Amino acid sequence: VEASIPEPQRETWRKHQAKPFADKDGFQRELVRHVETTLARSMFNCDESAAYSACALAFRDRLVYDWNRTQQRQTLADAKRVYYLSLEFLMGRALDNAMLNIGQKDIAKAGLAELGFRIEDVIEQENDAALGNGGLGRLAACFLDSLATLNYPAWGYGLRYRYGIFKQEIIDGYQVEVPDYWLDFNPWEFPRHDVTVDIQFYGHVVKTTDENGRVVHRWEGGETVKAVAYDVPIPGYGTSTTNNLRLWSSKAASGEFDFQKFNNGDYESSVADQQRAETISAVLYPNDNLDRGKELRLKQQYFWVAASLYDIVRRFKKSKRPWKEFPDQVAIQLNDTHPTLAIVELQRILVDIEGLGWDEAWDIVTRTFGYTNHTVLPEALEKWSVPLVQHLLPRHLQIIYDINLFFLQSVERQFPNDRDLLRRVSIIEETNPKMIRMAHLAIVGSHKVNGVAELHSDLIKTTIFKDFVDIYGPDKFTNVTNGITPRRWLHQANPRLSELIASKTGGYGFLTDLTQLNKLELHVNDADFRREWAEIKFNNKVRLAKYIKDTLGIAVNPNALFDVQVKRIHEYKRQQMNIFGAIHRYLTLKEMTPEERAKQQPRVSIFGGKAAPGYWMAKQIIHLINAVGEVVNNDKEIGDLLKVVFIPDYNVSKAEMIIPASDISEHISTAGTEASGTSNMKFVLNGGLIIGTCDGANIEITREIGDENIFLFGNLAENVEDLRHAHTYGGDWTLDPSLARVFEEIERGTFGNPQDFAAIISAVRDHGDYYLVSDDFHSYLETHKLVDEAYRDKEGWTTKSILSVARMGFFSSDRCINEYAEGIWNIEPLKGEE
Ligand code: NTF
């Protein structure tokens, strides 16, 4: 307020106020200005990369205008906000999204064309913002898009990693990781060097009493690191609402650049301290569905959580409201357990710094937080060792122990003398060393806990969190089935399909009300429409085939059935089963007479996905896929009947090209292991059919689109435990014969040195087949036969494709965000005058 322009001078200001460009001329003027001034280039020196930079800067300016007004409006209205805390935001590219959401892509296209550039080539220049691993991070990005589109007052908080997820190269069939230094040129962020927070680590706790005789804890000593805010504007589609994503970057705290050392001539070590501070936000941990308990990761978590909470509390305090109104102004959503320390930090701020009583503070805390669980896999459930937390965050450990004590005391009152229950639900696991169970802390500190698909939400209530349902009652636990943004995953990724849908449903209203897709059902028998529908898919396949040819030198026939599995490589996702299936197909084809062979449905098996650098088995699976491709793709007898392709470096922008080109995609996790999956939704929304297990959101997709439009197979989640038991203790377990035949062929050396693949085989054959590959294999192969048959009936296939898309309205992230807003956050939209 102090720094505002006084009223009499505001007229002058307003006269020169930034105005968004409105037409092609205005866009071109901005573009040329940025090339000539911001980039200091000229028309003699303007390549596609410069055109991208200038175009991005022009649209950035355009966004800032709405962004500033949105922030002013939200502050003025003093409305309740949601803060979405996520260690990952897998945003992908921003330019195309910005142009489409603002509604000025046509202007840019025409404007660029007149200057000699194709807009597609300009868009391709942008690096992906890859600050995430997979589904969890991409979900956060879809949520930001929906929050802005629906005009909710919302901020995202994350870390500004200098290195996002690594780039994957495939060398001799093996994954090689290359660092992703993506910040060279990033026009989408605004450094806020004036918005900083000092973050404390290590040190010790001093217990004293204040003047009123009250016990107070002071956290002293240790070291300080500075958090600097970087803001990224998030435009909504067809609205002026532009929300903020605030990413924190770490820096040595001023004064921490140790002048003492410097003056003593110890320049090197003072620079080393500086670098150590910057290490905190240097790199995204590349694990998906796996927790590794590294100290630097804990530092990242606290650094990010403490900076975000300081910021949120600072904003609240400006309103001068009493503390008890904090939960009426602030909702904080914990994306998985990664930000769980926020619960402890808020309690610390309220009790130690603001002087509230424990109970009053705890009531505020629990009314503020909601926790989303994204996995039941035990290896992914976060635990931190007590000695590590004691060392890094001594006061927080005390608070965690107090939270736990009060919690267990209340459990004891409710269920007297059930000591095993206390042991099971305790936040502290009594192992050596003791471990803090972050999910338990998140449940105890939140007012709502949700899973991400119906089956998953049921599973957490009946398995890992069952005791907490007994303690808190079922209402604390709820389901919010995941969704995806149709703006990026239909309109941007598949513009021609989006246009065709618009022509049949009365415009682009479906992009903000996806249930309107159901109008397509009326046109399912319209011959011209069906032809166009099939043609669009075919053209998308041609584009992917060209990409495969250009980058990998493999010629694939776009008339073949494109069978796609793209996602992180993980044993539970069962890419190994897919490649075993491809080998089985190859062997079957080889055994056929040429006449028989000629009748078979040609296929292209397409894989993509990264393995965590430390996940050896996943890397072996990548190697096997590539080794099979090497043999199959060069087998003259097989020709177009089967190709096996591994597309390197799967990421958001590759997904935008691959997904629209799929005929069938694979979502084949062992039942009960994939919490939701979200690419299943993206594929169906783009007119691809899916083969899948009864897992995650596949089940709800089936309910919506009809079981005649999906290929389900395999054992059910409820049988998995019994089957696993039988593998180890059953005695008469035998390997599926077709799978045995596949193993034989691998071991014969058909795909290179069998030693390289021994571990993949023995995980199934000798070590209990934890993921039920053998149990499901027969059903998997039979279902693929049904896929081949169905694909032969081109008209029947098109009908399935159209009807599926028509029934996908439920899976918009808009529906999902509205459910969070109503059921968990209690926030209302706040719209500007458009
Ligand atoms: C992932 N969880 C799940 O594995 C996916 O099934 C789900 O679609 C996404 O979350 C989004 O909800 C994780 O990545 C994590 F971290 F929880 F393991």
Instruction: Sketch out the chain's domains with CATH numbers.
Output: 20-77+94-127 (no CATH), 78-93+128-479 (3.40.50.2000), 557-810 (3.40.50.2000)
Closest C-alpha residue for ligand 1 atom 2:
374
Ligand 1, atom 10: closest residue by C-alpha: 136
pLDDT at 262 over 70: no
pTM, rounded to two decimals: 0.98
Specify whether 374 is catalytic.
yes
CA 313 to chain centroid: 27
Query: 62, 73, 573, 584: which is the annotated catalytic residue?
Result: 573
Structure tokens given for 336: 């998985």
Alpha-carbon distance 246 to 230, whole Å? 6
pLDDT tens across 607-652, in order?
A: 999 999 999 999 999 999 999 999 999 999 999 999 999 999 999 9
pLDDT at 2: 58
| The predicted structure's pLDDT at residue 271 | 84
| Tokens describing residue 711 | 């290929």
To test ligand 1's pocket by mutation, which of 375, 610, 699, 819 has the most ligand atoms within 8 angstroms of CB? 375
Higher pLDDT, 449 or 272: 449
Among the listed residues 162, 226, 374, 448, the single catalytic one is: 374
- Supply the pLDDT for residue 1: 45
From the alpha carbon of 372, which atom of ligand 1 is closest? Answer: 12
Q: Which of 440, 326, 373 is nearest to 676 (CA)?
A: 373
The CA distance from 834 to 594, in Å, is: 65
pLDDT tens digits, residue range 722-760?
Answer: 999 999 998 888 999 999 999 999 999 999 999 999 999
User: What is the whole-number distance in angstroms between the Cα of residue 91 and the centre of ligand 1?
Assistant: 16
% of the chain beyond a pLDDT of 90? 95
Q: Give Cα 721 distance to the centre of its chain.
A: 29
Handedness of CA 462, 465, 471, 474 (dihedral sign): negative
Residue 699: both structure tokens together: 């089940």
- Report CA dihedral (216, 222, 223, 228) to the nearest 10 degrees: -30
Terminal Cα-to-Cα distance of the chain (whole angstroms): 26
Is 20's pLDDT higher than 90? Answer: no
For ligand 1, the distance from its centroid to the CA atom of residue 571, given in whole angstroms, is: 15
Three-class DSSP category at 412: helix
pLDDT in tens, 580-604: 999 999 999 999 999 999 999 999 9
DSSP H helices, 372-526, are 386-392, 394-414, 419-425, 438-444, 454-462, 466-472, 486, 495-505
pLDDT, one tens digit per residue, over 528-571 is 999 999 999 999 999 999 999 999 999 999 999 999 999 999 99
For the stretch 110-141, pLDDT in tens is: 999 999 999 999 999 999 999 999 999 999 99
* pLDDT of 339 higher than 90: yes
Task: Give the range among 14-23, 208-217, 486-495, 501-510 with minimum mean pLDDT.
Answer: 14-23
Check residue 267 and give its pLDDT.
81
84, 136, 165, 484: which to mutate for ligand 1, most atoms within 8 A of CB?
Answer: 136
In the predicted model, what is the mean pLDDT of residues 684-695?
99
Nearest to 830 by CA among 60, 17, 320, 69: 69
Averaged pLDDT of the chain: 97
- Cα of 208 from ligand 1 centre, angstroms: 44
Nearest residue by C-alpha to atom 17 in ligand 1? 374
Distance CA 432, CA 435 (A): 8
| pLDDT, mean of residues 690-708 | 99
Three-class secondary structure assignment of 516-576: HHHHHHHHCCCHHHHHHHHHHHHHHHHHHHHHHHHHHCCCCCCCCEEEEEECCCCHHHCHH
Mean pLDDT confidence for 780-807: 98
Residue 795, Cβ density class (10 Å: 0-12 exposed, 13-18 middle, ≥19 buried): exposed
- Closest ligand 1 atom to Cα of 380: 18
From the number of C-beta atoms within 10 Å of its C-beta (0-12, 13-18, 19+), residue 478 rates as middle
Which of 80, 167, 567, 667 is the catalytic position?
Answer: 567
Instruction: Give the pLDDT of residue 268.
Output: 83
Beta bridge partners of 330: 81
Give the model's pLDDT for residue 17. Answer: 84
Q: Does position 572 have pLDDT exceeding 60, yes or no? A: yes
Q: Which two tokens stand for residue 730?
A: 């059953």
Look up 568 and say whether it is catalytic.
yes
CA distance linking residue 289 with residue 132, whole number of Å: 12
| Alpha-carbon separation of residue 322 from 274, 328, 364, 688, 729 (angstroms) | 39, 11, 11, 53, 61
If you search the block for the tokens 């919010």, which residue do you land on? 480
777 — pLDDT class (breaks 50, 70, 90): very high
Region 701-722: mean pLDDT is: 98
Secondary structure, 3-state, 350-374: HHHHCCCCHHHHHHHHHHHEEEECC
For tokens 């307003």, name the residue: 14
- As for the ipTM of the complex, it is 0.99
The residue-averaged pLDDT of 282-310 equals: 97
Confidence (pLDDT) at 328:
98
Q: What is the mean pLDDT of residues 64-86?
A: 96
Look at residues 7, 50, 4 and name the one whose alpha carbon lies nearest to residue 31.
50
Beta strands in 122-281 (DSSP E): 129-131, 154-159, 167-171, 174-178, 190-201, 204-209, 215-220, 223-235, 242-252
Could you give the 3-state DSSP secondary structure of residue 216? strand
Kind and range of the H or E run holding 383: strand 383-385
Classify residue 591 as exposed, middle or buried by CB count within 10 Å of its CB (0-12, 13-18, 19+): exposed
- List b or e across 597-632, with b for residues whose CB sees 16 or more CB atoms inside 10 angstroms: beeebbbbbbbbbbbbeebeebbbbbbbbbbbbeeb
Residues with Cβ < 8 Å from 496, sequence gap 6 or more?
A: 536, 539
Tell me how far apart the 2 most distant CA atoms of the chain are, in Å. Answer: 95
∠ Cα 396 401 407 (to 5°): 125
- Check whether 259 has a pLDDT greater than 70: no
Query: How far apart, in Å, are the Cα atoms of 78 and each of 58, 201, 309, 710?
Result: 31, 33, 18, 47
Tokens representing 196?
């900083």
Q: What is the DSSP letter of 489?
A: I
* φ and ψ at residue 469, rounded to 5 degrees: -70, -40
Best residue among 289, 479, 667 to mutate for probing ligand 1, ranked by most atoms within 8 Å of CB: 289
Pocket (CB within 6 angstroms of ligand 1): 134-136, 139, 288-289, 336, 374-375, 380, 452, 482, 674-678, 696
Ligand 1: which atom is nearest the Cα of residue 134? 14
Residue 675 sits at φ, ψ, to 5 deg, of -55, -50
